[in-house]
Amino acid sequence: MEANVDSANVSTTPSNIDKEVSTENNFVNSAEIAWQEMRKKWVGDPSNRTSEMPVEPVISFNATYEDLLTSTTPFHKPIPLAEMVDFLFDIWHGDGLFE
């Protein structure tokens, strides 16, 4: 049995085909959008930042790795991530562990 198809009802103009294809192929990376939103919350809005004076480091410039590991007293304020990374880099580089 063959299906009866009325060719007058089927439009195959290129503009209709392009519209159908373009709407079907729009990819939305929802994971990337969610990641960007979470990052914005973590980093903060750069337009709200003020040009603050550099703050005094939380970790003393003469602190050692052992000082941080053996101390049981909490720091007087949280250590910024950038400061901790700089500290660890200096320690590891000095020990020859970061080449």
The pLDDT tens digits for 20-79 are: 555 567 899 999 999 999 998 888 777 776 666 667 888 887 888 888 888 888 888 888
Q: Which is more confidently placed, 9 or 47? A: 47
* pLDDT band at 98; cut points 50, 70, 90: low
What per-residue confidence (pLDDT) applies to 18? 55
| Residue predicted with more confidence, 90 or 46 | 90
Q: How far apart are CA 76 and CA 66, in angstroms?
A: 18
Q: Rounded mean pLDDT of 77-88?
A: 88
Rounded CA-CA distance 90/79 in Å is 16
Report the alpha-carbon distance of residue 93 to residue 55 in Å, rounded: 25
pTM over 0.95, yes/no = no
- Residue 59's Cβ-side half-sphere holds a number of Cα atoms within 13 Å equal to 22
Q: How far apart are CA 64 and CA 95, in angstroms?
A: 12
Spatial CA neighbour of 80 closest among 99, 56, 98:
56
